Copies of this chain bind each other. A is one copy, B any other.
Amino acid sequence: MTAVSVLGTGIVGRTLAGKIASLGHQVVMGTRDPDASLAVTESSPRGLEPLSDWLGANEGVSLGTFADSAATGEIVFNAASGDGTLEALGSAGAANLSGKILIDAGNPLDFSDGMPPTLLVGNTDSLAEQIQREFPDAKVVKALNIVSAPVMIDPGAVAGGDHHMLIAGNDDSAKAEVTRILEEWFGWRHVLDVGDVTAARGLEAYVILWVRMMMSLGTVGFNVKVAQ
């Protein structure tokens, strides 16, 4: 059993936390203000049920502050919004992230002009690089950001799992461990390491294409297979 921190309570955070808890791991989900989050009684504008209801149906998941969550987790997932990630990780605290694998599933998307979104950072930098610079003692591995939440934890539902998860990061042993997690926890059959953390520029920029494919295909239930 592994103690896992999931930072963020949106659709990505819930999907990851629920799946990981269902495997028997100890999951603490982190949010800025747990009391405020629990006090919400209405669904979100995007249709997410109140967090208290969701937690009631996912008893293996507990809720705490970002710092509570990161302190508990042996492994940390960033599932915060792109524009909220650095603040969330700052609240989590550098000491609570030091030496740990930090799986960055985030995308620095700006929806302020609606769909399709633009990137908040890109080309010569990326969200993952910003995180790695800000928290040099964390082992940042970019992963999962190229697919929708349902596909993250159930790749077999798309083309029988015959497609690729792409990851990037500076630490080879951390990438090997993330690969094991992707395979054993979530069922990914194909994981391709595309380079050091600067390769996250490509993984994040790809999401701009992903959005267009999603709009064209009319589903979030897809991914790409690297064909050779």
Q: How distant is A92 from chain B, measured CB to nearest CB, in Å?
A: 28
**Does A228 touch B at the CB level, under 8 Å?**
yes
Encode A188-228 as 1/0 by CB contact (under 8 A) with B: 00001111001101110110111111011101011111111
**Across-interface contacts of A206 in B (CB, < 8 A):** 202, 205-206, 209
Would you call A163 and B227 a contact (CB within 8 A)?
Answer: yes
Q: How distant is A175 from chain B, measured CB to nearest CB, in Å?
A: 12
Q: Which of B118, B159, B192, B202 contacts A208 (CB 8 A)?
A: B202
With an 8 Å Cβ cutoff, the count of chain A residues facing the other chain is 41
Binds B, one of A11-19, A27-35, A73-81, A119-127: A119-127
**Does A171 touch B at the CB level, under 8 Å?**
no
**Across-interface contacts of A201 in B (CB, < 8 A):** 208
Of all chain B residues, which has the CB nearest A146? B209
Determine the distance from Cα of A116 to Cα of B201 in the docked complex, in whole angstroms: 11
Would you call B226 and A227 a contact (CB within 8 A)?
Answer: no
Would you call A228 and B224 a contact (CB within 8 A)?
Answer: no
Would you call A212 and B227 a contact (CB within 8 A)?
Answer: no
Would you call B219 and A195 a contact (CB within 8 A)?
Answer: no
Of all chain B residues, which has the CB nearest A224? B224
Q: Which of B124, B215, B224 contacts A225 (CB 8 A)?
A: B224
**Does A176 touch B at the CB level, under 8 Å?**
no
